Structure 1
Amino acid sequence: MSLTSSEAAAALAARATAVIPGGVNSGQRRVPGLEELVVTATSGSTFTDADGRVFTDYHAAFGPPLLGHNDPDVDAAAARAAGLMGVGVTPVEIELAERLVDAVPSLEKVLLTTTGSEATFHALRLARTVTGRRHVLKFQGCYHGWHDSVALNVISPAERVGGKDPLSQGILPEVLDATIVCPFNDAAAVERALETYDVAAIILEPIPHNIGTVLPQPGFLERLRELASKHGTVLVFDEVITGFRHGLGGYQAIAGVTPDLTTLGKAMANGWPVSALGGRANLMDLFSTTPGQPAFFAGTFNGHPATTAAALATIDKLGREPVHEHVFALGERARSGLRELFSRLDVPAVVTGFGSVFVTYFLEGPVER
């Protein structure tokens, strides 16, 4: 796909490239053929480019605006709270933490961060603090952010599956050596790894949506819970995508499997930059936010009142209105329509998804890992 832009829009894109490396502030925002895309407005399910063209936003900005871009209730709540930033804690932080603990089964205490990567970073730091162990275990196809312990083996070429496939240069070899990669849905491989290495944490997306949708096979999440408990390993569910998008309690509430720690973000505040890490109180109390505790935790914008208020307003609306029923129906409509289309055209393809998420794999047979 390519997008032809006017001279004025192309000039805007050129200005960006002149002062921003590559013209974008995240490598994932640079899409081949859309190098001159400059977004000037968003509303509901659409965005508008610099040439005034309105597009339906199936991408949804990597997933956060579950209520649609610029939900008026969410944005108004953020605006009202914006001036509260300071020392100490604010009422909106307290209320959001209470709401998160009420909603998500694994959460007894919670801390707020700004990005999903920060939340998973602190989850692994905490797991290493608790266990005194070095290794972490992730799964092929799961993405947990930009930090070195997990920045590997997401969308890997076939020849690198089964080995180490870092997303970036500059990652220390000893960091890569401390990360174990197992196939998703392969509990036997996890068991072998736990018997071989000193594993501090198992971290996973309960549904690896960063590679589309690979559903956990029956019993897989339950077996991970059993293995983690047996080996004294911290089980971390990265629900930055699945949390709130699939339900207020995240996928763990749907699956009935409770991890030790959970990370949340994206749909939690409908596009405002906030994330969270929560879990068992005896683990969370080891962060340095409790005086004298060993796991350092800090951040200037952690619990920012505007983003915290946006999260509260989002959760209120998700609980008050039939949002999930609506977006689940839209997701099924998209999946069934695509299946019918590919069948009619005799195109080999697997259409899958969960809830509002839909994806097409142009191959034959089930996608299990």
Structure 2
Amino acid sequence: MKHDVLSGSQVAERARLAIPGGVNSGQRSVPGLTDLVIVHAEGARFRDADGREFVDYHAAFGPPLLGHNDPDVGAAVAEAGRTVDLCGVGVTRGEVELAETLVELVPSVEKVLLTSTGSEATFHALRVARAATGRRLVVKFQGCYHGWHDAVSLNVISAPDRVGGRDPISTGILPEVLEATLVLPFNDAAAVRAAFAEHGHDIAAVIVEPVPHNVGCLLPEQEFLATLREECTRAGSVLVFDEVITGFRHDLGGWQKLSGITPDLTTMGKAIANGYPVGALGGRADLMELFSSRPGGPAFFAGTYNGHPAVVAAALATLRKLRTEPVHEHVFRLGERIRTGLADVFAGLGLPALVTGFGSVFVAYFMTGPARTYDDLLRNDAAMFIGYRRRLLEHGVFELPLNLKRSHVSYAHTDADVDRLLEAAEAAARAQLAAGAPVGDLTGASTMGGAVR
């Protein structure tokens, strides 16, 4: 059969026969959307095999800040392909230029190494922190996601009865690995001070999403971030900012530039290359020089596809556009329109909702405020959250219908797209309420979702 005449259900069934679950990442298969087969993406929209077109506010968990298939990024990738591909030895001019650009833009970065994913970057950050300190323990925070590797694969979107203990997101992890990770509540400076008072002599690293966007948007309190810096400095521990989401989307210098809190190491990815698979780890030169990319470095570092010319070209083109065009001005304005507009829509319907976010990121929790910590998010009405987003699909608007997931604006979105979202939001919320959907707490484990970025 020809590919162009297959329905979405036919392609999806073939996928399930050859690919476990029919998808290549944990939460791409969404209940009720298991036959979604993407055939075209451009700007602020994508189209599926059944001819449905959606205004895309999911945006692949955030990378395409410029919009899907940005022509300037595509042209740069094509040009790179005409001159060089992967040789696996030495360095290319593009790699040097990208490294210099990251050093220039991100306050903490004195030297930088490229990876293929954000998970690899966070893995290497913790490895080198342990190499530098000779210590065992890592601190992370409830609600933060740092990738798939064992040391951080716990306590992201946890059911209420799993908060406060170790809640691994996967089986197959050695208990002693989980036991070497301390999980603390986000935005709790007192808990950080207490952990350092008890364990500071053995804490190798503290890793944090400065804004925990993997549970929507918990905005950090300045005292909390300052306490992380103070306690790590006092104890000789390594402070790692995971800016895979916040980097470049919120500011060219990341959240560390906005907050004025400089970590020792920074992990980056996603918006750095508008969707091409690149990550980066950068920070203090003395830490970065411990990697085996420098002969004699004791912390092993490798990756066949690190610094691939195509993704380097994509990153350079993306950063060039972010620096020369009013990308942040545009997406911040639309983001504010959306947050204000959604709050008005839900208030007009008498629907309890807290609309929050930052810049180009927005999320509507169906609860009353505040949202400081993960515990606050347990009040979110997950049935309403998911049901509302499912009904948005009927109006050609795509926000991922999974609990607590954030949404994104790109440079390709327009005011007309925002108008369409607000109209769809009123219709979807009204229909969900009319269907008798419960409005209230719904915090069972089955509704708390998973851990993908």
Distance in 2 separating the partners of 1:76 and 1:44? 15
3-state DSSP class of the match of 1:117? helix
What amino acid sits opposite 1:258 in the alignment? T
> Are 1:55 and 2:59 matched, yes or no?
no
Which residue in the other structure is 1:119 paired with?
A: 121
Which of the numbers 152, 171, 180 marks the counterpart of 2:182? 180
Following superposition, the deviation at residue 218 of structure 1 comes to: 2.9
Following superposition, the deviation at residue 7 of structure 1 comes to: 7.3
> Are 1:319 and 2:323 matched, yes or no?
yes
Distance in 2 separating the partners of 1:193 and 1:132? 18
Give the unaligned 5+ runs of structure 1. Answer: 1-5
What amino acid sits opposite 2:159 in the alignment? P
Contact 1:141 1:155 in 2 (8 A): yes
Following superposition, the deviation at residue 143 of structure 1 comes to: 0.3
| Equivalent residue runs for 1:78-97 within 5 Å | 78-82=77-81, 83-86=84-87, 87-97=89-99
What amino acid sits opposite 2:25 in the alignment? S
Distance in 2 separating the partners of 1:85 and 1:51? 37
Which residue in the other structure is 1:158 paired with?
A: 160
Contact 2:193 2:227 in 1 (8 A): no
> Which deviations, in whole Å up to 9, do the C-alpha atoms of 1:33-83 show, x marking residues without a partner?
110000001000000100122111110011000000000111111122133
> Which deviations, in whole Å up to 9, do the C-alpha atoms of 1:119-165 show, x marking residues without a partner?
00000000000000011000000000000000110110111110011
> Are 1:339 and 2:338 matched, yes or no?
no
- Paired positions, count: 364
| Equivalent residue runs for 1:12-31 within 5 Å | 12-31=11-30
What amino acid sits opposite 1:25 in the alignment? N
Which residue in the other structure is 1:75 paired with?
A: 74
Q: Which stretch of structure 1 is more off in the superposition, 208-217 or 79-88?
A: 79-88
Which residue in the other structure is 1:42 paired with?
A: 41
Which residue in the other structure is 2:260 paired with?
A: 256
Contact 2:192 2:227 in 1 (8 A): no
Distance in 1 separating the partners of 2:147 and 2:185? 19
> Are 1:291 and 2:295 matched, yes or no?
yes
Which of the numbers 336, 356, 362 marks the counterpart of 2:360? 356
3-state DSSP class of the match of 2:286? helix
> Which deviations, in whole Å up to 9, do the C-alpha atoms of 1:238-272 show, x marking residues without a partner?
00000000011011101111000000000000000
Following superposition, the deviation at residue 330 of structure 1 comes to: 1.1
Which residue in the other structure is 1:137 paired with?
A: 139
Which residue in the other structure is 2:273 paired with?
A: 269
Deviant stretches of 4+, over 4 Å = none
What amino acid sits opposite 1:279 in the alignment? G
Distance in 2 separating the partners of 1:235 and 1:32? 38
Contact 1:13 1:38 in 2 (8 A): yes
Distance in 2 separating the partners of 1:183 and 1:307? 36
Contact 1:84 1:90 in 2 (8 A): no
Distance in 2 separating the partners of 1:360 and 1:231? 39
3-state DSSP class of the match of 1:120? helix
> Which deviations, in whole Å up to 9, do the C-alpha atoms of 1:258-306 show, x marking residues without a partner?
0000000000000000010000001000000010110000000001011
| Equivalent residue runs for 1:300-311 within 5 Å | 300-311=304-315
Contact 2:222 2:259 in 1 (8 A): no
What amino acid sits opposite 1:244 in the alignment? F
Following superposition, the deviation at residue 188 of structure 1 comes to: 1.2
Following superposition, the deviation at residue 101 of structure 1 comes to: 0.3
Contact 1:239 1:250 in 2 (8 A): yes
> Which deviations, in whole Å up to 9, do the C-alpha atoms of 1:145-189 show, x marking residues without a partner?
000000110110111110011000011100110000000001111
> Are 1:214 and 2:218 matched, yes or no?
yes
> Which deviations, in whole Å up to 9, do the C-alpha atoms of 1:295-335 show, x marking residues without a partner?
00000000101101100000000000000010011111111
Contact 2:211 2:217 in 1 (8 A): yes
Distance in 1 separating the partners of 2:44 and 2:277? 19
Distance in 1 separating the partners of 2:364 and 2:7? 35
> Which deviations, in whole Å up to 9, do the C-alpha atoms of 1:203-237 show, x marking residues without a partner?
00000000000001132111111111001110000
Following superposition, the deviation at residue 32 of structure 1 comes to: 1.1
Distance in 2 separating the partners of 1:138 and 1:101? 26
Distance in 1 separating the partners of 2:7 and 2:280? 40
What amino acid sits opposite 2:109 in the alignment? L
Q: Taking every aligned residue pair, what percent have the same amino acid on both sides? A: 67
> Which deviations, in whole Å up to 9, do the C-alpha atoms of 1:86-106 show, x marking residues without a partner?
111000000000000000000
What amino acid sits opposite 1:257 in the alignment? I
Following superposition, the deviation at residue 8 of structure 1 comes to: 2.1
Following superposition, the deviation at residue 195 of structure 1 comes to: 2.1
Aligned-residue Cα RMSD (Å) equals 1.0
Which residue in the other structure is 2:283 paired with?
A: 279
Which residue in the other structure is 2:439 paired with?
A: none
Contact 2:290 2:297 in 1 (8 A): yes
Distance in 2 separating the partners of 1:34 and 1:97? 40
Q: Which stretch of structure 1 is more off in the superposition, 149-158 or 78-87?
A: 78-87
Distance in 2 separating the partners of 1:278 and 1:157? 34
What amino acid sits opposite 1:235 in the alignment? L
Which residue in the other structure is 1:3 paired with?
A: none
Distance in 2 separating the partners of 1:8 and 1:69? 23
Which of the numbers 232, 235, 240 marks the counterpart of 1:236? 240
What amino acid sits opposite 1:183 in the alignment? P
Distance in 2 separating the partners of 1:42 and 1:212? 24
Give the unaligned 5+ runs of structure 2. Answer: 374-453
